[in-house]
Amino acid sequence: MLRHLTNSREPVHNAMTEPGFTPLRIARAEWAAEGIRRFELRAPDGAALPPFAPGAHVKVQVPSGVIRNYSLANAHEEDPGLYEIAVKREADGRGGSVSLCDAAREGELLPVSAPANDFPLSDKAQSFLFIAGGIGITPILSMARHLAATGDARPFRLLYLTRTPETTAFREALSPFGRAVTIHHDHGDPDRAFDLWPLLETQKRGCHLYCCGPAGLMQAVRDMSGHWQPGTVHFEDFGSANTKPRAEDVPFTVRLARSGAAFEVPVGASILEVLRRHGIRVPSSCEAGTCGSCRTRWLEGQPDHRDLVLSPEERAHDMMICVGRARGELVLDL
């Protein structure tokens, strides 16, 4: 657990922090690429931070007060006193990234949680295929750095897909991995998209696939890897496509079968958020429809599934309430 520091004179955003959060100093803040800001977070006294495994994330309470998850991009073995995150500034997002990119300054303190990991590297894997899209490079970079820092000889290939060189973060950090890394830019042209099928058509014995990035990339990879062995394909994303309102969205009612309580879920809010506002706690983590923490049984209604986790068979009775919606009334087993 991070130690709580209460005697620091540095400005602390969000003095009223969530339980389990501790202020960490922004040791460095810089633009890592067009629209992507990189932060180095350290304890004010320079002490080592709680260790983490590759694929881990931390919760950050940004200057506006909201809490967002950010994957750690570094390897703990390289520098035990560092948490490194990179944030894509989403002007049309929910406001968290804009607040962090625009308002957080070097030298200030940000409330940060201890690391958690919903995207761990498998000990059973004999090799790895990493596919990252845009800001999804952060946990993948941590994995590559961890393998190198610990002398893990298991081979990997990393495919990093971005729009342009200017929007590609961590190019220098990836250079030591040489030919193991392929960086591809499509320049916004679908005809120049990377052909994933040759990579995914045949699964090498013992290979595990890790994919992090936009929902479109995740869905494409999922569609093309359906023949891979169960338990060898792993996903994580940042939820922007899954959580943005859609033109067809309408308000609906969610009713809790056990208590009978009913609440309206407006456009732009998730079921999970509405339940929180009414003091109802449901396990959650990524809030992007990929980790499975908020999986909830639904009993009646017409759910609109927007996750990347559940199979068609599972969707017949379960849903991810961080991203899923409905029409009319939806009854949950809560």
User: For the stretch 147-163, what's the b/e string if a residue is b when 16 or more beta carbons lie within 10 angstroms of its beta carbon?
Assistant: bbeeeeeeebbbbbbbb
Question: For the chain, what is the mean pLDDT?
Answer: 90
Task: Tell me the C-alpha distance between 215 and 262, whole Å.
Answer: 30
Q: What is the pLDDT of residues 26-45, one digit of tens each?
A: 999 999 999 999 999 999 99
Q: How many structural domains is the chain composed of?
A: 3
Residues 252, 226 share a domain: no
Whether the predicted pLDDT of 87 surpasses 90: yes
Asked whether residue 1 is domain-assigned, the answer is no
Q: What is the DSSP string of 151-199?
A: T----EEEEEEES-GGG-TTHHHHGGGGGGEEEEE-TT-GGG----HHH
Whether the predicted pLDDT of 110 surpasses 70: yes
Residues 212, 158 share a domain: yes
Task: Tell me the C-alpha distance between 317 and 303, whole Å.
Answer: 10
Domain boundary among 82, 112, 142: 112
Residues 95, 68 share a domain: yes
Whether the predicted pLDDT of 145 surpasses 50: yes
Report DSSP state, residue 116: B
Edge-to-edge strands, sheet with 318-320: 262-265, 252-256, 325-332, 295-304, 318-320
By C-alpha distance, which of 205, 56, 202 is closest to 141? 56
Q: Are 158 and 140 in contact (CB under 8 A)?
A: yes
Residues 214, 157 share a domain: yes
Residues 247, 233 share a domain: no
Asked whether residue 10 is domain-assigned, the answer is no
Q: What is the pLDDT of residues 233-249, one digit of tens each?
A: 998 865 555 567 788 89
Asked whether residue 146 is domain-assigned, the answer is yes
**Most confident by average pLDDT, 83-92, 123-132, 214-223, 310-319:** 123-132
Q: What is the pLDDT of residues 41-68, one digit of tens each?
A: 999 999 999 999 999 999 999 999 888 8
Asked whether residue 311 is domain-assigned, the answer is yes
Residues 232, 146 share a domain: yes
Domain boundary among 202, 220, 238: 238
CATH number at residue 138: 3.40.50.80
Whether the predicted pLDDT of 4 surpasses 60: no
Asked whether residue 166 is domain-assigned, the answer is yes
Task: Tell me the C-alpha distance between 280 and 74, whole Å.
Answer: 35
Q: Structural domain of residue 269, as residue ranges?
A: 243-332
